């Protein structure tokens, strides 16, 4: 049995490659062949996965092992062709591993690698898809991984998508010159907290119209809107404690704090999921969601920010991904 390991050698300031080099002998000692593919500046994780999967014959199965964090897996999902013919493994060796936390994966990468190398599908997982309308040109490039149809962009996600505050934090953190420094000091999560504190004073709080499975609700002064397939995002925030990645539904969390003081009171409770007790936090669940914002907002998929938009649609794909862990 053959396995294709796809690695970002500069991920997490080089720690991803270091961890992979430590675990590769363990993988090679198992039954099965391991072929390693390294992403480059010209061909990212998604591009490598697209090359590996685009020419699959009907019924042919390929075993992919993504080595990295949530962003690497997001890139992979947006590059994979023939999703139903892929058996996927993950070695969480990135700076952010919210999916791994939500799935309860073994912290011991050696044990996890041995399990994956058995080549047996252990479970399936829903994959979300977001369609962006009226995309801005502030950040997005037409060749950015995703599927373009005229002026409409479609991207997949495994963990979460968000519009507004959490996406703005991701964009600000990526643009910060301090991110690489803090990553090298193993303090990468700190940049997101610092950006959150700064942005809460300047973030726009638009009115959102959310149509959830045909039912419309308006939210005034919305700071945060997230749709989640797993409980955690943003480095461990448990925004949707009851999210189940195999129920065909997305869990929604909408925050409308009326003041900065209210935000700072609620924000820490997001780590253990107890924020749901506050009346300014609205929880919901659905399979087909359409969102319109009164102002363009940054939008992310699994922490990867592509552009701003004032209108998005979110759904769960019919195809599930087969997991080797």
Q: How large a percentage of the chain has pLDDT more than 90?
A: 78
Both 143 and 106 in one domain: the answer is: no
List alpha helices for 240-301, DSSP H. Answer: 260-266
**Into how many domains does the chain fold?**
2
162 contacts 138 by C-beta, under 8 angstroms: no
Both 239 and 268 in one domain: the answer is: yes
Is the residue at 322 inside a domain? Answer: no
Is the residue at 302 inside a domain? Answer: yes
155 contacts 130 by C-beta, under 8 angstroms: yes
Give the separation between CA 283 and CA 99, rounded to whole angstroms.
20
Please say whether the dihedral angle defined by the alpha carbons of residues 78, 138, 252 and 176, taken in this order, is positive or negative.
positive
Give the separation between CA 72 and CA 129, rounded to whole angstroms.
17
Query: Does residue 68 sit in helix, strand or coil?
Result: strand
Query: Does residue 181 sit in helix, strand or coil?
Result: helix
Token readout for 39 is 């992403």
75 contacts 45 by C-beta, under 8 angstroms: yes
**Quick one: pLDDT at residue 184?**
61
For the ranges 12-16, 166-170, 188-192, 215-219, which has the lowest average pLDDT? 188-192
Both 153 and 133 in one domain: the answer is: yes
Give the separation between CA 98 and CA 283, rounded to whole angstroms.
20
**Quick one: pLDDT at residue 280?**
97
Instruction: Give 204's strand partners.
Output: none
Both 180 and 257 in one domain: the answer is: yes
Both 161 and 250 in one domain: the answer is: yes
Is the confidence at residue 88, as pLDDT, over 80?
yes
Residues composing the chain: 325
The domain boundary residue, chosen from 120, 147, 162: 120
Domain that holds residue 264: 128-317
**Quick one: pLDDT at residue 146?**
80
49 contacts 80 by C-beta, under 8 angstroms: yes
60 contacts 84 by C-beta, under 8 angstroms: no
Is the confidence at residue 138, as pLDDT, over 90?
no
Is the confidence at residue 182, as pLDDT, over 80?
no
Quick one: average pLDDT of 276-302?
Answer: 97
**Quick one: pLDDT at residue 140?**
75
Both 56 and 141 in one domain: the answer is: no
**Quick one: pLDDT at residue 204?**
84
Give the separation between CA 282 and CA 256, rounded to whole angstroms.
8
291 contacts 314 by C-beta, under 8 angstroms: yes
CB atoms within 10 A of CB 18: 13
Is the confidence at residue 177, as pLDDT, over 60?
yes
Strands 147-149 and 152-157: antiparallel
Give the separation between CA 181 and CA 194, rounded to whole angstroms.
14
**Quick one: pLDDT at residue 271?**
92
Work out the pLDDT band at 183, boundaries 50, 70, 90: low
Both 72 and 138 in one domain: the answer is: no
DSSP classification of residue 260: H
User: Rounded to 5 degrees, what are φ and ψ at 226?
Assistant: -130, 145
Work out the pLDDT band at 95, boundaries 50, 70, 90: confident
Average confidence score pLDDT of the chain = 92
Quick one: average pLDDT of 103-117?
Answer: 93
The domain boundary residue, chosen from 67, 101, 120: 120
Closest residue by Cα to residue 152 from 166, 164, 142, 165: 142
Query: Does residue 231 sit in helix, strand or coil?
Result: coil
Query: What is the per-residue pLDDT across 193-251, written as a single tens digit (0 to 9) for each?
Result: 788 888 888 888 999 999 999 999 999 999 999 999 999 998 889 999 999 999 999 99
The domain boundary residue, chosen from 67, 97, 120: 120
**Quick one: pLDDT at residue 234?**
87
More confident residue, 242 or 140: 242
Both 305 and 161 in one domain: the answer is: yes
What CATH number did the domain enclosing 77 receive? Answer: 3.40.50.10330
Is the confidence at residue 94, as pLDDT, over 90?
no
More confident residue, 234 or 125: 125
**Quick one: pLDDT at residue 230?**
97
Is the residue at 324 inside a domain? Answer: no
Closest residue by Cα to residue 144 from 65, 250, 45: 45
Both 93 and 233 in one domain: the answer is: no
**Quick one: pLDDT at residue 220?**
97
CB atoms within 10 A of CB 22: 12
What CATH number did the domain enclosing 195 receive? Answer: 2.60.200.40
Give the separation between CA 219 and CA 293, rounded to whole angstroms.
10
Both 50 and 138 in one domain: the answer is: no
Give the separation between CA 285 and CA 30, rounded to whole angstroms.
42
pTM of the model as a whole: 0.92
Both 8 and 82 in one domain: the answer is: yes
More confident residue, 23 or 196: 23
Is the residue at 110 inside a domain? Answer: yes
Query: What is the per-residue pLDDT across 257-271, written as a single tens digit (0 to 9) for each?
Result: 999 999 889 989 999
Quick one: average pLDDT of 8-32?
Answer: 94
DSSP classification of residue 235: T
Work out the pLDDT band at 110, boundaries 50, 70, 90: very high
Query: What is the per-residue pLDDT across 31-78, written as a single tens digit (0 to 9) for each?
Result: 999 999 999 999 999 999 999 999 999 999 999 999 999 999 999 999
Both 38 and 106 in one domain: the answer is: yes
Token readout for 93 is 């060796």
Give the separation between CA 218 and CA 266, rounded to whole angstroms.
21
Is the residue at 323 inside a domain? Answer: no
Is the residue at 157 inside a domain? Answer: yes
Strands 152-157 and 160-164: unpaired
């Amino acid at each position: 049995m053959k396995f294709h390991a796809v690695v970002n050698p500069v991920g997490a300031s080089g720690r991803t490659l270091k961890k992979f080099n430590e675990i590769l002998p363990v993988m090679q000692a198992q039954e099965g062949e391991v072929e390693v593919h390294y992403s480059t500046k010209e061909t990212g994780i998604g591009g490598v996965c697209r090359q590996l999967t685009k020419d699959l014959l009907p019924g042919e199965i390929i075993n992919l092992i993504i080595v990295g964090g949530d962003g690497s897996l997001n890139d992979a999902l947006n590059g994979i062709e023939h999703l139903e013919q892929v058996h996927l493994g993950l070695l969480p060796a990135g700076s952010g591993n919210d999916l791994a936390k939500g799935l309860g994966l073994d912290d011991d990468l050696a044990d996890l690698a041995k399990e994956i190398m058995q080549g047996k599908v252990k479970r399936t997982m829903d994959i979300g898809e977001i369609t962006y309308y009226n995309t801005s040109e502030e950040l997005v490039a037409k060749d950015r991984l995703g599927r373009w149809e005229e002026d409409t962009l479609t991207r997949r996600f495994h963990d979460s998508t968000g519009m507004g505050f959490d996406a703005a934090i991701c964009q600000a953190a990526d643009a910060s010159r301090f991110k690489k420094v803090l990553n090298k000091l193993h303090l990468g999560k700190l940049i997101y907290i610092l950006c959150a504190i700064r942005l809460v004073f300047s973030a726009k709080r638009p009115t959102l119209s959310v149509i959830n499975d045909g039912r419309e609700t308006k939210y005034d002064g919305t700071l945060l809107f997230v749709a989640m397939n797993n409980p955690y995002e943003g480095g461990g925030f448990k925004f949707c404690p009851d999210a189940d990645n195999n129920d065909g539904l997305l869990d929604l969390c909408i925050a409308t704090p009326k003041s900065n003081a209210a935000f700072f009171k609620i924000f820490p409770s997001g780590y253990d999921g107890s924020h749901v007790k506050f009346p300014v936090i609205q929880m919901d669940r659905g399979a087909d969601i359409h969102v319109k914002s009164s102002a363009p907002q940054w939008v992310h998929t699994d922490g990867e920010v592509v552009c701003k938009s004032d209108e998005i649609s979110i759904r769960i794909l019919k195809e599930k991904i087969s997991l080797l862990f």
